[in-house]
């Protein structure tokens, strides 16, 4: 199962080799840093938490700052979690098995160098590292400042986890349309518009008079339309651009441009 967080950029069109036009939604998907891996041993279930979008330090709060520091990643603006199911063999690391499942496949290793060339390369690298350490040691130490450790590069989820032709579902916040009546909100037919009619766009009768003397919950009535969590199923991945982190999906997805969406395979 693959999943990723992204930002909806808008809609466009793609033309196939046969000349057919495909309407697509363009999504800037990832890269998403893995901020936490939840295991059965520690959390009681298996899941992956990912972060998307950089966050300024002055916008971060202390609890989140500690969370990101523990994960070894920069602060992220948006977080999402999705469950996975991985079976591990005896002695195998559950966390490594989960990461292997959700991260893009690692490219094949290059062909091995001859033994002599490999030895020369290794010796040159060791010599360069020793010279760098010696030069660093000669530098005068500054008071009150500690040497900052280089942050180890953490694994990231990219659009490479998807393939063209896959079916995905996209979750986002739908466009808010404000207060709407039953005709726009629930597709009611309404009454006659001719002369003499007194019933046009009203919802009509909603309950009895004497019993139960109330309106049942869940009735289709006027109210807030849109601006709620919505999921669109059955979308097809048309194309993937790994260099620009773009995902092209056939059809429309919930939300307006620049809205945050969560994409996962069905």
Q: Look over the chain and give the mean of its residue pLDDT values, rounded to a whole number.
A: 84
* Residue with token string 């062909």: 111
pLDDT above 50 for 108 = no
**How far apart are the two ends of the chain, measured CA to CA in Å?**
8
Percent of the chain with pLDDT over 70: 81
**Four-way CATH pick for 1-30+158-185+223-266: 1.10.760.10, 2.40.30.10, 3.30.413.10, 2.70.150.10:** 2.40.30.10
Handedness of CA 6, 11, 12, 16 (dihedral sign): positive
pLDDT above 70 for 90 = no
Q: What tens digit of pLDDT does each residue of 117-155 get?
A: 556 666 666 776 777 667 666 666 555 444 444 445 567
The domain limits of the chain are 1-30+158-185+223-266, 32-88+98-104
Whether the CB-CB separation of 190 and 198 falls below 8 Å is answered with no
Order of strands across the sheet with 76-83? 76-83, 47-54, 32-38, 156-157
Can you give the pLDDT at residue 176?
Answer: 94
- Lowest average pLDDT, out of 66-80, 105-119, 152-166, 177-191, goes to 105-119
pLDDT above 90 for 253 = yes
pLDDT above 90 for 84 = no
DSSP-assigned letters across all residues of the chain: --EEEEEEEEEEEEE-TTS-EEEEEEEEE--EEEEEEE-HHHHSS-EEEEEEEE--GGG--HHHHHHHHHHTS--EEEEEEEE------TT--HHHHHHHHHSPPPPPPPPPPPHHHHHHHHHHHHHHHHHHHHHHHHSPPPTT-PPPPPPPPPPEE-GGG--TT-EEEEEEEPPP-EEE-HHHHH-------STT---SS-----S-SSSS-SPPTT---SEEES-SEEEEEEEEEEEEETTTTEEEEES--SS-TT-EEEEEE-
The answer to whether domain 32-88+98-104 has CATH 3.30.160.810 is: yes
**pTM for the predicted model, two decimal places:** 0.73
Closest CA to 76 of 164, 173, 157: 157
Q: What tens digit of pLDDT does each residue of 171-211 get?
A: 999 999 999 999 999 999 989 999 999 999 999 888 878 88
- Lowest average pLDDT, out of 32-36, 51-55, 131-135, goes to 131-135
pLDDT above 90 for 220 = yes
Distances (CA, A) of 144 to 64, 85, 147, 162, 218: 27, 48, 10, 48, 64
Closest CA to 169 of 104, 230, 80: 230
Q: What tens digit of pLDDT does each residue of 5-26 get?
A: 999 999 999 998 898 999 999 9
């Amino acid at each position: 199962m693959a999943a990723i967080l992204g930002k909806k950029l808008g809609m466009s069109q793609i033309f196939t080799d046969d000349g057919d036009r495909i309407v697509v939604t363009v999504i800037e998907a990832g890269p998403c840093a893995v901020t936490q891996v939840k295991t059965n041993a520690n959390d009681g279930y298996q899941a992956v938490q990912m972060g998307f979008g950089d966050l300024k330090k002055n916008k971060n709060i202390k609890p989140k700052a500690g969370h990101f520091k523990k994960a070894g990643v920069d602060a992220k603006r948006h977080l999402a979690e999705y469950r996975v199911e991985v079976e591990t063999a005896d002695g195998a690391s559950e966390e490594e098995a989960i990461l292997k499942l959700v991260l893009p496949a690692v490219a094949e290793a290059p062909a091995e160098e001859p033994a002599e060339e490999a030895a020369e390369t290794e010796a040159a690298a060791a010599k360069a590292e020793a010279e760098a350490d010696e030069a660093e040691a000669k530098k005068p130490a500054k008071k009150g400042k500690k040497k900052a450790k280089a942050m180890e590069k953490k694994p990231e989820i990219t659009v490479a986890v998807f393939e063209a032709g896959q079916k995905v579902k996209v979750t986002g916040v739908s466009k808010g349309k404000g207060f709407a009546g039953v005709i726009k909100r629930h597709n009611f037919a309404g009454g006659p518009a001719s002369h003499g009619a007194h019933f046009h766009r009203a919802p009509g009768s909603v309950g009895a008079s004497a019993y139960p003397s109330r309106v049942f919950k869940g009735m289709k009535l006027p109210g807030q339309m849109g601006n709620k969590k919505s999921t669109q199923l059955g979308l097809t991945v048309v194309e993937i651009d790994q260099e620009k982190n773009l995902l092209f999906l056939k059809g429309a997805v919930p939300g307006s441009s620049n809205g945050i969406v969560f994409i996962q395979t069905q």
